[in-house]
Amino acid sequence: MPNKKPSPFLEGMRDGLPIGLGYFAVAFSLGIAAKSAGVTPLQGFTASFLCMASAGEYALFTLIGAGAPVIEVIVLTLITNARYFLMSCALSQRFSPDTPFFHRLTVGAVVTDEIFGATIARKGYVEPAYNYGIMLLAVPGWSVGTALGIIMGTLLPARLVSALSVALYGMFLATIIPPMKKSLPIALCVACGFLFSWLFGVLPLLSEISTGMRTIILTVVLSAAAALIFPAKEEARDE
């Protein structure tokens, strides 16, 4: 008797297990950084439950720790996470035409780089049940990891907390270095980002701009300049 194919939900849980474990490890380091910003475990859990984005949340907690105005926090978080709008739009094209709006909204609200990659690689229409299976493990892994990181940051010695907080920077380096090796435009964008960020911190007038506003300006200007100078080739867009 042939083996019965597992349901999309179980397949999602299978693929979501390594994602959830990876999220837990990264979110733990994020929680250490959140502790330094004065975020409580409940606040960190809620933030990660509602916003599953490492770079976006790190920017969020950094601005909170710096006492940035609410509007700067909102704008920077929106800009940092803007790529998820594009991912959600791409996933919407893979749904069956008769998929209810509720499922489209729920799947689109919980899109990360890893979840998008796992979902878009499936053949045929996207089944909402598959994404729900991934979410069942990925969302708790991210939110619980953040809360536990904050708790451990409270219990551990200050020196050890400072050492563990470096792990998050290692994650960002692991994210940007491989694309930099493959793409000269990306390498130039990253180098310009470091350079102009440093200049904003030392030049007389620019250094008076708040941290959040600096990041917003650099993100918008550098991304727009990169799009104009290095436009995507037609064949790459088609692919």
The string of DSSP codes covering 78-120 is HHHTTHHHHHHHHHHTTS-TT--HHHHHHHHHS--HHHHHHHH
Query: Is the pLDDT at 126 greater than 70, yes or no?
Result: yes
For the chain, domain boundaries: 8-176, 183-239
Query: Is the pLDDT at 3 greater than 80, yes or no?
Result: no
Range name among 26-35, 206-215, 221-230 with the lowest pLDDT average: 206-215
Question: pLDDT above 70 covers what percent of the chain?
Answer: 85
Among 171, 173, 151, 142, CA closest to 32: 151
Q: Name the pLDDT band for 49 (thresholds 50, 70, 90).
A: very high
Mean pLDDT of the 225-235 span:
71
Question: pLDDT above 90 covers what percent of the chain?
Answer: 13
Mean pLDDT of the 150-171 span:
68
- DSSP secondary-structure letter at 206? G
Mean model confidence pLDDT for the chain: 81
The pLDDT value given to residue 238: 47
Range name among 118-127, 201-210, 229-238 with the lowest pLDDT average: 229-238
Dist. CA 113–CA 119, nearest whole Å: 10
Q: Name the pLDDT band for 237 (thresholds 50, 70, 90).
A: very low
pTM of the model: 0.69
Among 159, 94, 76, CA closest to 131: 94
Query: Is the pLDDT at 140 greater than 90, yes or no?
Result: yes
